[in-house]
């Protein structure tokens, strides 16, 4: 330590300040944290986008399968829910799921039947997401599948917290004007 102080106070002190030894180590120490934050951030964002895509694809698949039926039952809808969960990433948490049939009337859309999986509740006429529904003729119906899948980001470095991927799919029944509810509770 004393030797270093003597070197700094000596007439040759300019030599110490002009020395290039250790510059790359200091540059690495300054750049490495930025590179690590970018790396973990890109993994986190990619993982969230991938999980959202898989949840969206699963939602549209369930809506398509239900829309191809003439009637549904609780057993069939339970099976589609199980299929939906299997299509999700293994990291999913807090899955919410609801399948409903919406009948278009002169006074607006009305819920014909709804099948929620807890913790979701039955869809009401007032809660129909009318802005997200396609335009259909009066007396036609839509199959509405609403899902929420929780996610936990890989890292919180970007300030991301736990959240939900929410998706809605609305399809017209393929072979009938309205899908019969069978043993599903009608509204």
For residue 59, what pLDDT is reported? 96
Q: How confident is the model at residue 159 (pLDDT cuts 50, 70, 90)?
A: low
Q: Evaluate if residue 187 carries a pLDDT over 70.
A: no
Q: Evaluate if residue 57 carries a pLDDT over 80.
A: yes
Interhelix angle 74-87/23-67, rounded to 10 degrees, is: 160
Per DSSP, the residues of 66-128 read HHT-SB--HHHHHHHHHHHHHHS-TT-EEEEEEEEEEEEETTEEEEEEEEEETTS----GGG-
94 or 68: which carries more pLDDT confidence? 68
Please give the average per-residue pLDDT across 76-87, as a whole number: 94
Please give the average per-residue pLDDT across 12-22, as a whole number: 64
6 or 61: which carries more pLDDT confidence? 61
79 or 11: which carries more pLDDT confidence? 79
Is the pTM of the predicted complex or chain greater than 0.85? Answer: no
For residue 15, what pLDDT is reported? 64
Cβ neighbour number for residue 102 with a 10 Å cutoff: 26
For residue 111, what pLDDT is reported? 94
User: How far apart are the C-alpha atoms of 87 and 81, rounded to whole Å?
Assistant: 10
């Amino acid at each position: 330590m004393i030797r270093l102080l003597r070197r700094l106070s000596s007439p040759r002190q300019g030599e110490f300040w002009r020395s290039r030894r250790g510059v790359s180590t200091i540059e690495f120490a300054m750049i490495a944290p930025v590179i690590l934050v970018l790396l973990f951030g890109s993994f986190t964002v990619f993982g969230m986008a991938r999980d959202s895509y898989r949840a969206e694809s699963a939602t549209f698949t369930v809506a398509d399968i239900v829309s191809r039926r003439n009637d549904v039952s609780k057993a069939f809808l339970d099976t589609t829910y199980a299929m939906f969960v299997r299509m999700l990433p293994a990291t999913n948490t807090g899955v919410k799921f609801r399948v409903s049939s919406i009948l278009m009337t002169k006074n607006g859309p009305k819920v014909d039947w709804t099948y929620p999986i807890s913790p979701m509740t039955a869809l009401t006429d007032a809660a129909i997401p009318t802005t997200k529904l396609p335009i259909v003729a009066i007396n036609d119906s839509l199959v509405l599948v609403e899902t929420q899948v929780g996610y936990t980001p890989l890292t919180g470095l970007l300030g991301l917290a736990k959240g939900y991927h929410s998706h809605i799919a609305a399809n017209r029944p393929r072979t009938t004007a309205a899908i019969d509810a069978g043993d599903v509770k009608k509204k």
